[in-house]
Amino acid sequence: MAVERTFSMIKPDATARNLTGKITAKLEEAGLRVVASKRVWMSRKQAEGFYAVHKDRPFFGELCDTMTSGPTIVQVLEGENAIARNREVMGATDPAKAAAGTIRKEFAKNIGENSVHGSDATDTAAQEIAYWFSGTEIVG
Ligand code: CMP
């Protein structure tokens, strides 16, 4: 597997608890390099656009409320097998089901306030990176 890039987001529940450094350290310890990063307090429109794939799910409104409740850190991570590696270090979406040592097991409060988001596939990684970093030169 070649070096690839994925998109990562540290969510408002985590920035509110000053967990940005601890979460980023876990990503870096997993072999992922932070090649782009910025702090964003997203608008409702940005949240709805970013999570449009979930627009018909019953939790969509609550998801957009949560994501606009405070600042997030949006990041591009680079490394060998970065998409799968990031998903591994994040752990399951529901922290109650996440493996020991994962970010969500250690830090997430519940399924909605689950501290991090990460792309699930090559095409979504490209789309999500473009959504937040279009026009930004990313230096690997
Ligand atoms: P994330 O990886 O950011 O993608 C969609 C988010 O919806 C997910 O993490 C959860 O934080 C949130 N969410 C809230 N309720 C649910 C649910 N019942 N099932 C899946 N995701 C949920």
Mean pLDDT of the chain: 98
- Among 13, 117, 128, 133, which one carries the catalytic annotation? 117
Q: What is the mean pLDDT of residues 130-137?
A: 97
Please state, in angstroms and rounded to a whole number, the distance separating the CA atoms of residues 114 and 108: 4
Nearest atom of ligand 1 to the alpha carbon of 93: 9
pLDDT value at position 140? 87
pLDDT value at position 125? 98
Please tell me the distance between residue 139's alpha carbon and the centre of ligand 1 in angstroms. Answer: 31
Nearest Cα residue to atom 11 of ligand 1: 112
Q: Whole-model pTM above 0.75?
A: yes
Nearest to 129 by CA among 31, 50, 25, 19: 50
pLDDT value at position 53? 97
Residue 1 has pLDDT above 80, yes or no: no
pLDDT value at position 44? 98
Residue 83 has pLDDT above 80, yes or no: yes
Q: What is the mean pLDDT of residues 34-55?
A: 98
Amino acid in the structure at residue 15: T
Q: Strand pairing of 3-10 and 33-40?
A: unpaired
Is there a catalytic annotation at residue 117? yes
Please tell me the distance between residue 63's alpha carbon and the centre of ligand 1 in angstroms. Answer: 7
Which residues have CB under 8 Å from 96's CB, separation 6+? 111
Please tell me the distance between residue 89's alpha carbon and the centre of ligand 1 in angstroms. Answer: 17
Residue 110: other Cβ atoms inside 10 A: 10
